[in-house]
């Protein structure tokens, strides 16, 4: 793995009996970039992320994270990783602040890290509220705050926009952009919503039935989508909506949803 690579997989596969969830996946995620891992529900995104984080063992292939091969018992690689996998979880009877304090101690972060994370995710109003009483959107914010608490080099986020309202999605998008641009944080994010990654990712990999079927820079993907239609529009909102529609059509075509 190159020194410029944050995540690499070679021939990564995962089988459950006769079902192949991930099939020979080769990835190279560069340090400092935002990589959008795009696919429908059931395409193999979460299974891939679980293998990247050492939560499940691959049936075949290799994974390297931040220069270390992920094998049973490997822990050093994950000191520089923040993650959110599937559902946002927290101790329901503890407050937001108490949940973050536990995470701070587990990661050995500085004392001020909790206050910084609360401010960063705009959880000030809810800092002393029990996690079990939070809305789904604020539970997601709390999970993101936990992932960011120890200032990781790499963020692995599984559907980070889940349960967030449109304003919240924009806030998280801006936050991830700043972390990448200003601090060099690598972001590997999965989503089944093309427009979400199209607004954020530097590169996008499309996964379907466990296989990587296409990978390209965001601008290249947008250019391919524009080939589906040519329209003369002056209003920015309408132009953005058309591009999003064309991206969705292109995604459906590549994954067999539209002929």
β-pairing, 203-208 with 211-217?
Answer: antiparallel
Domains defined along the chain, listed by start = 5-254 (3.40.50.300)
Of the listed ranges 10-24, 95-109, 209-223, the one predicted with least confidence: 209-223
pLDDT tens string 69-114 = 999 888 888 999 999 998 788 999 999 999 999 999 999 999 899 9
**Is the pLDDT at 53 greater than 90, yes or no?**
yes
Res 185: pLDDT:
96
- The pLDDT tens digits for 33-45 are 999 999 998 999 9
Structure confidence at residue 68 as a pLDDT band (50, 70, 90)? very high
Provide the mean pLDDT of the chain: 88
| Calpha distance 145→122 (Å, rounded) | 10
Identify the DSSP state of 125.
G
- CA 51 to centroid of chain Cα atoms: 14
pLDDT, tens only, 168-210 = 889 999 999 999 999 999 999 999 888 888 889 999 999 999 9
Residues ≥6 apart with Cβ < 8 Å to 60 = 11, 12, 13, 24
* pLDDT attached to residue 163: 82
Q: What local confidence, expressed as pLDDT, does residue 89 receive? A: 86
* 239 pLDDT above the threshold of 70: no
Question: What pLDDT shows up at residue 257?
Answer: 65
């Amino acid at each position: 793995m190159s020194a410029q690579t944050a995540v690499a997989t070679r021939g990564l596969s995962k089988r459950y009996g006769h079902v192949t969830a991930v099939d020979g996946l080769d990835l190279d995620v560069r340090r400092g970039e935002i990589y959008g891992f795009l696919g429908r529900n059931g395409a193999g995104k979460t299974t891939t992320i679980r293998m990247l984080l050492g939560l499940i063992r691959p049936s075949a292939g290799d994974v390297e994270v931040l220069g270390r091969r992920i094998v049973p018992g490997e822990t050093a690689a994950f000191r520089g990783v923040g993650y959110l996998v599937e559902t946002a979880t927290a101790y329901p009877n503890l407050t937001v602040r108490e949940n973050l304090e536990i995470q701070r101690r587990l990661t050995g972060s500085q004392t001020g890290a909790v206050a910084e994370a609360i401010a960063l995710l705009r959880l000030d109003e809810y800092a002393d509220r029990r996690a079990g009483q939070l809305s789904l959107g604020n539970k997601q914010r709390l999970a993101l705050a936990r992932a960011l608490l120890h200032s990781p080099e790499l963020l692995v986020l599984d559907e980070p926009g889940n349960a967030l309202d449109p304003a919240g999605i924009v806030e998280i998008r801006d936050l991830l952009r700043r972390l990448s641009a200003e601090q060099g944080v690598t972001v590997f994010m999965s989503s089944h919503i093309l427009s979400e990654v199209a607004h954020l990712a530097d590169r996008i990999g499309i996964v379907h039935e466990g296989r990587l079927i296409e990978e390209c820079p965001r601008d290249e993907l947008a250019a391919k989508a524009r080939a589906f239609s040519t329209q003369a529009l002056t209003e920015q909102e309408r132009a953005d909506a058309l591009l999003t529609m064309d991206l969705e059509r292109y995604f459906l075509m590549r994954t067999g949803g539209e002929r």
